[in-house]
Amino acid sequence: MPKNVRVVDEKGNEYEATYPKRAKGLVKHGRARFINENTICLACPPNENLEEPTMTEQNTYIEQTEPTAEPAPEKKLTLDYVLARIENIAADNAHIAEAIAALNSMGDAKAPGDVSGAEKAQAIAEVVKARETTNQQLLQLYERMYLDLTPRTNELKLKAIEALHKVSEQSDSEVMEQFNYVLDSIRHLA
């Protein structure tokens, strides 16, 4: 297929001819318009000089990519942080007080067979129970963090592994299987 569509710009400058399909695509996307059947006029003439006249120094690029603000310091997990979080959980009992206040404000049943109060009380109890479950899980997490932060914990793990190795060498197969299970569990902790 020959390049038989002339290409000009609004100033009358003529460029290399193009394919008919390419010309239709330029017109479709608003980058050109047909002047006649075999000529298109570019809406925006191409930039003749796409390269910089002189190469810039490499430092310019580096300066532009460097962050302007200093990065935030990395927070290190400490025993004080873990203990403070545990104390916060222990001190946070407002949800229990709110639940008791809500139960007190419900009052007595207004008519025989009125079960709405019991359902509301059950719903409040479920909320408190869910909150306590969350607190227990958080405490377990902080307990693991605490154990990981204390240097004595790693020593105890190593001693437990050594003891299990000694016992497993002297035991029968059933006991050895149980010790291997415990040994694998301890290895995952270490």
3-class DSSP state of 177: helix
Amino acid 88: pLDDT: 83
Spatial separation of the C-alpha atoms in residues 168 and 190, rounded to whole Å: 19
Query: What is the pTM for the complete model shown?
Result: 0.38
Per-residue pLDDT of the chain (190 residues; tens, 9 = 90+): 789 999 998 888 899 999 999 999 999 988 999 999 899 999 877 666 545 556 555 555 545 555 555 555 566 778 788 888 888 887 887 877 887 887 777 766 565 666 777 788 888 888 888 888 888 888 888 888 877 777 665 666 667 667 666 655 555 666 666 667 776 776 666 5
- Other CB atoms within 10 A of residue 141 CB: 12
Sheet holding 14-18, edge to edge: 14-18, 5-9, 39-42, 32-36
Alpha carbon 14 to its chain centroid, in Å, reads 54
Question: Beta partners for 18?
Answer: 5
Amino acid 24: pLDDT: 93
Amino acid 20: pLDDT: 93
Spatial separation of the C-alpha atoms in residues 18 and 41, rounded to whole Å: 12
Spatial separation of the C-alpha atoms in residues 45 and 47, rounded to whole Å: 7
Spell out the domain ranges in the chain: 5-42, 75-107+116-149, 151-190
